[in-house]
A and B are shown apart, each in its own frame.
Chain A
Amino acid sequence: QSALTQPASVSGSPGQSITISCTGTSSDVGGYNYVSWYQQHPGKAPKLMIYDVSKRPSGVSNRFSGSKSGNTASLTISGLQAEDEADYYCSSHTSSSTLVFGGGTKLTVL
Protein backbone atom coordinates (compact mmCIF):
# COMPACT_ATOMS: atom_id res chain seq x y z
CA GLN A 1 0.00 0.00 0.00
CA SER A 2 2.63 2.54 -1.05
CA ALA A 3 1.43 6.07 -1.75
CA LEU A 4 1.12 7.16 -5.36
CA THR A 5 3.90 9.48 -6.54
CA GLN A 6 3.13 13.15 -7.20
CA PRO A 7 5.47 16.13 -7.61
CA ALA A 8 5.73 18.08 -4.37
CA SER A 9 4.99 21.37 -6.05
CA VAL A 10 4.05 22.99 -9.35
CA SER A 11 3.50 26.60 -10.26
CA GLY A 12 2.08 28.69 -13.05
CA SER A 13 0.95 32.18 -13.89
CA PRO A 14 -2.68 33.24 -14.24
CA GLY A 15 -4.10 32.11 -17.55
CA GLN A 16 -1.50 29.41 -18.08
CA SER A 17 -2.02 25.65 -17.98
CA ILE A 18 -0.35 23.22 -15.61
CA THR A 19 -0.29 19.46 -15.35
CA ILE A 20 0.15 17.36 -12.21
CA SER A 21 1.24 13.76 -12.62
CA CYS A 22 0.35 10.79 -10.43
CA THR A 23 2.37 7.60 -10.85
CA GLY A 24 1.42 4.23 -9.45
CA THR A 25 1.67 0.61 -10.51
CA SER A 26 -0.29 -1.96 -12.44
CA SER A 27 -1.98 -2.86 -9.14
CA ASP A 28 -3.60 0.54 -8.82
CA VAL A 29 -3.45 3.38 -11.39
CA GLY A 30 -2.54 1.12 -14.30
CA GLY A 31 -5.00 -1.60 -13.48
CA TYR A 32 -8.21 0.35 -13.12
CA ASN A 33 -9.95 3.41 -14.55
CA TYR A 34 -10.70 4.56 -11.01
CA VAL A 35 -8.35 7.49 -10.56
CA SER A 36 -9.77 10.54 -8.81
CA TRP A 37 -8.40 13.99 -7.98
CA TYR A 38 -9.10 16.20 -4.96
CA GLN A 39 -8.48 19.87 -4.26
CA GLN A 40 -7.78 20.99 -0.70
CA HIS A 41 -7.51 24.56 0.48
CA PRO A 42 -5.75 25.20 3.82
CA GLY A 43 -7.85 24.20 6.80
CA LYS A 44 -10.62 22.81 4.62
CA ALA A 45 -11.86 19.35 3.71
CA PRO A 46 -10.86 18.01 0.29
CA LYS A 47 -13.18 18.50 -2.68
CA LEU A 48 -13.66 16.03 -5.53
CA MET A 49 -12.52 17.50 -8.86
CA ILE A 50 -12.18 14.47 -11.18
CA TYR A 51 -13.27 10.84 -10.88
CA ASP A 52 -13.00 7.74 -13.05
CA VAL A 53 -9.86 9.26 -14.64
CA SER A 54 -11.60 12.02 -16.60
CA LYS A 55 -15.16 12.63 -15.36
CA ARG A 56 -16.06 15.95 -13.77
CA PRO A 57 -18.66 16.18 -10.99
CA SER A 58 -21.46 18.66 -11.45
CA GLY A 59 -20.29 22.15 -10.53
CA VAL A 60 -16.59 21.63 -11.22
CA SER A 61 -15.15 23.97 -13.82
CA ASN A 62 -14.32 22.51 -17.24
CA ARG A 63 -10.87 24.06 -16.80
CA PHE A 64 -10.09 20.87 -14.88
CA SER A 65 -9.45 17.72 -16.89
CA GLY A 66 -7.96 14.29 -16.25
CA SER A 67 -6.26 11.59 -18.28
CA LYS A 68 -4.26 8.41 -17.85
CA SER A 69 -1.55 6.56 -19.74
CA GLY A 70 -0.25 3.29 -18.36
CA ASN A 71 0.60 3.64 -14.69
CA THR A 72 0.52 7.46 -14.73
CA ALA A 73 -2.53 9.68 -14.41
CA SER A 74 -2.56 13.43 -14.95
CA LEU A 75 -4.62 16.41 -13.87
CA THR A 76 -4.53 19.45 -16.13
CA ILE A 77 -5.78 22.86 -15.06
CA SER A 78 -6.14 25.36 -17.88
CA GLY A 79 -6.63 29.11 -17.59
CA LEU A 80 -5.10 29.17 -14.13
CA GLN A 81 -6.86 31.41 -11.62
CA ALA A 82 -5.76 32.62 -8.20
CA GLU A 83 -8.46 30.51 -6.55
CA ASP A 84 -6.87 27.35 -7.97
CA GLU A 85 -3.96 27.72 -5.56
CA ALA A 86 -4.33 24.71 -3.27
CA ASP A 87 -3.04 21.22 -2.58
CA TYR A 88 -4.07 18.52 -5.03
CA TYR A 89 -4.22 14.79 -4.32
CA CYS A 90 -4.75 11.88 -6.66
CA SER A 91 -6.29 8.61 -5.53
CA SER A 92 -6.77 5.18 -7.03
CA HIS A 93 -8.61 1.96 -6.31
CA THR A 94 -6.19 -0.91 -5.70
CA SER A 95 -6.11 -4.65 -6.30
CA SER A 96 -6.47 -5.09 -2.51
CA SER A 97 -9.88 -3.39 -2.62
CA THR A 98 -8.49 -0.38 -0.84
CA LEU A 99 -7.94 3.23 -1.85
CA VAL A 100 -4.51 4.81 -2.03
CA PHE A 101 -3.69 8.52 -2.21
CA GLY A 102 -0.77 10.34 -3.69
CA GLY A 103 1.53 12.40 -1.50
CA GLY A 104 -0.05 15.64 -2.67
CA THR A 105 1.07 18.53 -4.87
CA LYS A 106 1.10 22.16 -3.81
CA LEU A 107 -0.02 24.40 -6.66
CA THR A 108 1.21 27.98 -6.52
CA VAL A 109 -0.33 30.60 -8.80
CA LEU A 110 2.38 33.17 -9.37
Chain B
Amino acid sequence: EVQLVESGGGLVQPGGSLRLSCEASGFTFSSYWMTWVRQAPGKGLEWVANINQDGSEKYYVDSVKGRFTISRDNAKNSLYLQMNSLRAEDTAVYYCAKEGSGSYHIDYWGPGTLVTVSS
Protein backbone atom coordinates (compact mmCIF):
# COMPACT_ATOMS: atom_id res chain seq x y z
CA GLU B 1 0.00 0.00 0.00
CA VAL B 2 1.36 3.38 -1.01
CA GLN B 3 1.79 5.72 1.94
CA LEU B 4 3.00 9.31 1.97
CA VAL B 5 3.39 11.12 5.28
CA GLU B 6 4.30 14.79 5.47
CA SER B 7 5.88 16.52 8.44
CA GLY B 8 7.47 19.84 9.30
CA GLY B 9 4.52 22.17 9.02
CA GLY B 10 3.75 24.81 11.61
CA LEU B 11 3.60 28.52 12.38
CA VAL B 12 6.39 30.72 11.02
CA GLN B 13 6.84 34.47 10.82
CA PRO B 14 6.93 36.30 7.48
CA GLY B 15 10.44 36.13 6.05
CA GLY B 16 11.17 32.93 7.91
CA SER B 17 12.05 29.45 6.70
CA LEU B 18 10.59 25.98 7.04
CA ARG B 19 11.54 22.56 5.70
CA LEU B 20 8.84 20.07 4.88
CA SER B 21 9.57 16.36 4.70
CA CYS B 22 7.62 13.49 3.19
CA GLU B 23 8.33 9.88 4.00
CA ALA B 24 7.22 7.42 1.32
CA SER B 25 6.55 3.70 1.53
CA GLY B 26 4.78 0.95 -0.36
CA PHE B 27 6.40 1.62 -3.74
CA THR B 28 9.84 1.96 -5.33
CA PHE B 29 10.39 5.62 -4.45
CA SER B 30 13.41 6.06 -6.73
CA SER B 31 11.36 5.15 -9.82
CA TYR B 32 8.86 8.00 -9.73
CA TRP B 33 8.57 11.74 -10.14
CA MET B 34 7.37 13.37 -6.93
CA THR B 35 5.38 16.57 -6.45
CA TRP B 36 4.33 19.15 -3.87
CA VAL B 37 0.84 20.67 -4.16
CA ARG B 38 -0.62 23.25 -1.79
CA GLN B 39 -4.09 24.46 -0.90
CA ALA B 40 -4.69 27.76 0.85
CA PRO B 41 -7.56 27.77 3.37
CA GLY B 42 -10.87 27.63 1.51
CA LYS B 43 -9.12 27.81 -1.87
CA GLY B 44 -8.26 25.47 -4.71
CA LEU B 45 -5.28 23.28 -5.41
CA GLU B 46 -2.03 24.83 -6.61
CA TRP B 47 0.85 22.80 -8.02
CA VAL B 48 4.10 23.97 -6.38
CA ALA B 49 7.01 21.91 -7.66
CA ASN B 50 8.11 18.52 -8.88
CA ILE B 51 11.32 16.53 -9.19
CA ASN B 52 12.38 13.62 -11.34
CA GLN B 53 13.63 10.25 -10.22
CA ASP B 54 17.29 11.14 -9.61
CA GLY B 55 16.78 14.79 -8.70
CA SER B 56 18.37 16.15 -11.87
CA GLU B 57 15.18 17.86 -13.10
CA LYS B 58 13.13 20.25 -10.98
CA TYR B 59 10.27 22.54 -11.91
CA TYR B 60 8.52 25.26 -9.90
CA VAL B 61 5.44 27.45 -10.09
CA ASP B 62 6.50 31.04 -10.77
CA SER B 63 5.36 32.32 -7.36
CA VAL B 64 7.91 30.21 -5.46
CA LYS B 65 10.89 30.31 -7.84
CA GLY B 66 14.01 31.45 -6.02
CA ARG B 67 12.41 30.90 -2.61
CA PHE B 68 11.51 27.20 -2.48
CA THR B 69 13.74 24.21 -3.26
CA ILE B 70 12.51 20.68 -3.86
CA SER B 71 14.86 17.78 -3.22
CA ARG B 72 14.82 14.06 -2.51
CA ASP B 73 16.88 11.36 -0.82
CA ASN B 74 16.20 8.04 -2.50
CA ALA B 75 18.19 6.15 0.13
CA LYS B 76 15.76 7.45 2.75
CA ASN B 77 12.63 7.27 0.56
CA SER B 78 12.08 10.91 1.38
CA LEU B 79 11.00 14.09 -0.41
CA TYR B 80 11.69 17.58 0.89
CA LEU B 81 10.59 21.16 0.33
CA GLN B 82 12.83 23.91 1.69
CA MET B 83 10.81 27.09 1.95
CA ASN B 84 12.61 30.41 2.49
CA SER B 85 11.45 34.04 2.56
CA LEU B 86 7.97 32.88 3.47
CA ARG B 87 5.02 35.18 2.86
CA ALA B 88 1.48 35.27 4.22
CA GLU B 89 0.23 34.00 0.85
CA ASP B 90 2.26 30.81 1.32
CA THR B 91 -0.12 29.80 4.11
CA ALA B 92 -1.65 26.51 3.01
CA VAL B 93 -1.90 22.79 3.49
CA TYR B 94 1.04 21.27 1.64
CA TYR B 95 0.51 17.85 0.07
CA CYS B 96 3.27 15.45 -0.90
CA ALA B 97 2.23 13.49 -3.97
CA LYS B 98 3.44 10.70 -6.21
CA GLU B 99 3.14 11.03 -9.96
CA GLY B 100 1.84 8.23 -12.11
CA SER B 101 4.09 6.17 -14.32
CA GLY B 102 4.63 7.35 -17.89
CA SER B 103 2.13 10.18 -17.59
CA TYR B 104 1.52 13.55 -15.99
CA HIS B 105 -0.91 13.04 -13.16
CA ILE B 106 -0.87 12.43 -9.42
CA ASP B 107 -1.98 8.98 -8.36
CA TYR B 108 -1.33 9.16 -4.61
CA TRP B 109 -1.49 12.00 -2.10
CA GLY B 110 -0.37 12.37 1.49
CA PRO B 111 -2.78 13.74 4.13
CA GLY B 112 -1.04 17.13 4.04
CA THR B 113 0.72 19.38 6.56
CA LEU B 114 -0.41 22.90 7.43
CA VAL B 115 1.99 25.81 7.06
CA THR B 116 0.87 29.11 8.57
CA VAL B 117 2.86 32.27 7.88
CA SER B 118 1.86 34.96 10.32
CA SER B 119 3.34 37.37 12.82
Q: Determine how close the nearest CB of chain B comes to the CB of A14; give it in whole angstroms.
A: 26
Q: Which residues of A contact B112 (CB under 8 A)?
A: 45
Does A30 sit within 8 A of B, measured CB to CB? no
Stretch in contact with the other chain, from A15-23, A77-85, A95-103: A95-103
- Given A89-B45, A99-B47, check contact A51 B95 (CB 8 Å): no
Q: Which residues of A contact B35 (CB under 8 A)?
A: 99
Q: How many contacts between A and B, using CB within 8 angstroms?
A: 68
Q: Which residues of A contact B62 (CB under 8 A)?
A: 1
Q: Which residues of B contact A93 (CB under 8 A)?
A: 104
Interface extent on B, as a size class? 20 to 34
Give complex CA distance A102, B44 in Å.
8
- Given A1-B61, A51-B100, check contact A98 B105 (CB 8 Å): no
**B-contacting residues, A33-53, CB 8 Å:** 34, 36, 38, 40, 45-48, 51-52
- Cross-chain contact B107 with A51 (CB below 8 angstroms): yes
Q: Determine how close the nearest CB of chain A comes to the CB of B111; give it in whole angstroms.
A: 6
Give complex CA distance A102, B46 in Å.
9
Give complex CA distance A91, B61 in Å.
14
- Cross-chain contact A45 with B45 (CB below 8 angstroms): no
